[in-house]
Amino acid sequence: MSFQFIMDNEDPFYVEIKERKAKLIQGTKVDAEIIMSGDNNSIVRICEGKGDFTHAISREQITVEKGKVMDVIRLTRAITITLKNK
């Protein structure tokens, strides 16, 4: 599964999850299953464990341009689990 991020004031990047491993890649993935756009500071807060996609979406800080919101929520859970295991 791949998540494309088109964030304010940032170059595009995407996260590709395959075989229980995630890779962060600069650039655009044309066939990404999920495409999100919006405030780059929201993503930073989420990755620091200080927020989640559900709240960022409801506050219209992040927009899901393509894909299912439930998959985005699963990504939040994966980030949270990863941060707890560090």
What letter would DSSP give residue 32?
Answer: -
pLDDT above 70 for 7: yes
Structure tokens that stand for 8 in this block: 């304010």
Q: What is the pLDDT of residues 49-78, one digit of tens each?
A: 788 888 888 899 999 999 998 888 877 777
pLDDT for position 85:
65
- pLDDT-derived band at 37 (thresholds 50, 70, 90) equals very high
pLDDT for position 34:
92
Q: What is the pLDDT of residues 19-33, one digit of tens each?
A: 878 888 999 999 999
Domains defined for the chain, CATH in brackets: 2-84 (3.30.1050.10)
